[in-house]
Chain A
């Protein structure tokens, strides 16, 4: 079911590998097609101007892949969903050298027994770069975010109550909040990359059971979710500053 996701992952990984493996000598002069024009709205927004210890102002897109561990908890159940794959993409406006406002998303896939959990965390947040203290920690940053997450459960077992009502999946919506820490690095070739760990807490408030008819999702049942279900996720990502 996640074949397409893996294909996209492979394509992007290949692109990243190409970018990383290109020798520095081969990158000079910067090819015309990779140059980025500056504008009055984005001062110092060239990729080479962004450094782990100095964020350039303007629009920046960060993307990364990684793993996550998720735990589902409610008044009646406690389920460890184990490890899953993770993909994040954050588009942010970097206000100054230390602070950015970001709209982020993190797509997670987890398997629990035969069920597939597809979770997308849409968030609004801030990213702050720490001041260097004792060590050279110029690249260290923290993220604080909140938002909403559509969480979709694809039941693999035909005896699942979701399947029993004729639905193919259930979608849960609810708010979320989280915190993350990470570190920016820069390769000798000038590529900015980062590692980041995020912890997120989701409250599943509403649910829809859904079946597709001619590619149109039809909601069979809808309502509030009882039992105060929550999901706690810890994710680790490694990624690139694309621009």
Chain B
């Protein structure tokens, strides 16, 4: 039974991967006929929710995934430091990844915390211009990466987490996104505040362009970091 479940998750990972692969510009056809203008119902400022952007290029895809993966490591090291010291080891990290199981966690972890984290994955990818399905697919891959390459320091990958984090997270994320949009549409200060609280990633500019330009001379080293809005 467990082997079949493992096979099942592998199957899911394959087709979610296939969905995620469709991120390349050549695969993603243009779907918007109307320009994104201030007159457009969803084009008023502040932006009410993220817009699907068919032109997310492979570099951005890798960057976005890298941001999530780095944040997951940082969050895990900070939030679970005591658990890591008590139960973590390199041996765990090297061996746990091929021993997924049904965990014994409480429902606060399995239902609420993982769902909350999953909704953040989803909202982040949506805020970067991914459509609903691709945001789900990348949430799934991000969750897999966490389960199989980060959390293995202290525990085996959990079937509950692998499924519930992206699936329940996406469901919650869709709900929060709609509520956030409804709040923004009130066009009131409190509405906007609530809208951003419900979907905080919409505060980050949609198409940031980062540039790090090193400048090295005989007497100084300069790193010029730019973030173009």
Contact = CB atoms under 8 A, between A and B. Distances in A.
A169 B107 CA distance: 11
B31 A103 contact: no
B144 interface: no
A33 B51 contact: yes
Nearest to B33: A29
B92 interface: no
A107 interface: yes
A58 B137 CA distance: 13
B31 A35 contact: yes
Smallest CB-CB A-B distances: 3 pairs = A15-B175, A39-B22, A217-B104
Contacts of B12: 91, 103
A61 B171 CA distance: 9
Contacts of A35: 31-32, 52, 131
Contact of A150 (B9, B52, B102): B102
Interface string B160-178: 1001100110111011101
29 contacts: A12-B171, A12-B172, A14-B179, A31-B41, A31-B42, A32-B42, A33-B42, A33-B181, A35-B32, A35-B131, A36-B31, A36-B131, A37-B31, A38-B31, A42-B22, A59-B19, A59-B136, A89-B167, A105-B167, A120-B110, A171-B104, A173-B102, A175-B1, A210-B104, A215-B109, A217-B103, A217-B105, A242-B132, A242-B174
Nearest to A60: B133
A15 B102 CA distance: 31
Given A4-B112, A32-B43, A59-B15, A214 B86 contact: yes
A33 B107 CA distance: 33
B106 interface: yes
A63 interface: yes
Interface residues of A, number: 55
Contact of A4 (B87, B111, B164, B174): B111
Nearest to A169: B106
Secondary structure call for the A interface: strand
B97 interface: no
A134 interface: no
A208 interface: yes
Contacts of B133: 36, 42, 45, 58-59, 243
A5 B111 contact: yes
A120 B106 CA distance: 12
A32 B29 CA distance: 15
Given A45-B133, A59-B15, A91 B167 contact: yes
Nearest to A208: B104
A156 to B, nearest CB: 15
A90 B81 CA distance: 34
Nearest to A215: B83
A219 B31 contact: no
Contacts of A61: 136, 167, 170-171
A216 interface: yes
Interface range for B: 35 or more
B160 A41 contact: no
B203 interface: no
Contact of A32 (B21, B36, B105): B36
B82 interface: yes
Given A8-B115, A147-B5, A148-B5, A32 B172 contact: no
A18 interface: yes
A58 B8 CA distance: 17
A108 to B, nearest CB: 12
B41 to A, nearest CB: 6
Contacts of B175: 11-12, 14-16
A42 B20 CA distance: 11
A33 B108 contact: no
A58 B9 CA distance: 17
Contacts of B29: 37-38
Interface in B112-132: 112, 115, 131-132
A228 to B, nearest CB: 17
B8 A124 contact: yes
B34 interface: yes
Contacts of B176: 11, 15
